[in-house]
Amino acid sequence: MPARQTSKPRARRTPEARPYHHGDLRRVLIDAALQLAAEGAEVSVREAARRAAVSPGAPFRHFPNRDALMAAVAEEAQRRFRAEIEAALGEEPPKGPLERFRAFGLAYLRWAMRNPAHFEIISTGRYFAHGSSADLTRDNTELIALSERMLTDAAEQGLLRSADLKRIQIASRALVYGFARMNLDGHFPRWGIEDGQIERMAEGVIDLFIAGIAQP
């Protein structure tokens, strides 16, 4: 009888990295991180890679650590926020500085209510140190300066009750931030405000504020 041939053990194949198949990995990772934040999940570079369906090491070419990833997410959120404000002021330019100030505030609130995860990232220090991003700091400074110019114009035209522009500016920021935060934290139902009424309430609150700072 011929000698029985024993089959050679198969060589163990080393697992291959998943092929890179995204045209813009950086963009995909930013979107994945945003999705994680929107779900209230812990955001990490590796988890973003898993959501993006790429090898765990691939993202590190773009983001060496979590802070770098979250800075990029925040910069993208700020870019979209600024675009919303510029669109609101550019579509039908308001006639006067207080009308522009109102449009600015409404654009802030509408964007925050429609993009709660973005708002959470750029408005709190939960995800990363905001001062570590030069782009984010510059954009925020320019938006503050824009609101300051509107109030300065209003004061020069004799439209304001008070000459304390800094106090008005901070009060307006507290108003829109607080309203957006109440919406994000789900407070409005206990005040008897349903989802379909929140945006209309936002308009009313801003109009009340404008009436309070304007000369009668």
Q: What is the pLDDT of residues 45-87, one digit of tens each?
A: 999 999 988 888 888 888 988 888 988 888 888 888 999 999 9
String of b and e for 177-192 (b: at least 16 CB within 10 Å)? Answer: eebbeebbeeebeeee
Question: Does 13 map to a domain?
Answer: no
In a shared domain, residues 177 and 151: yes
Query: Is residue 156 in some structural domain?
Result: yes
pLDDT tens column, 143-201: 999 999 999 999 999 999 999 999 999 999 999 999 999 999 999 999 999 999 999 99
Based on the fold, state whether residues 164 and 206 are members of the same structural domain.
yes
Please state, as a whole number, how many other Cβ atoms lie within 10 Å of the Cβ of residue 8: 6
The CA angle 177-92-169, to the nearest 5 degrees, is 30
**97 and 188 together in one domain:** yes
In a domain, 198, yes or no: yes
Per the structure, the complete domain to which residue 36 belongs is given by: 21-64
3, pLDDT greater than 50: no
Per-residue confidence (pLDDT) for residue 129, from 0 to 100 = 76
At 13, the pLDDT band (50, 70, 90 cuts) reads: very low
How many domains are contained in the chain? 2
Res 12 pLDDT > 50: no
145 and 57 inside one domain: no
Q: Among 42, 64, 86, give the residue marking a domain's end.
A: 64
Does residue 59 sit in the same domain as residue 79? no
Buried b (16+ CB within 10 A) or exposed e, 98-129: bbbbbbbbbbbbbbbbebebbbbbbbeeebbe
Residues 77 and 55 in one domain: no
108, 164: one domain: yes
0.75 exceeded by the pTM? yes
Max mean pLDDT range (4-8, 92-96, 168-172): 168-172
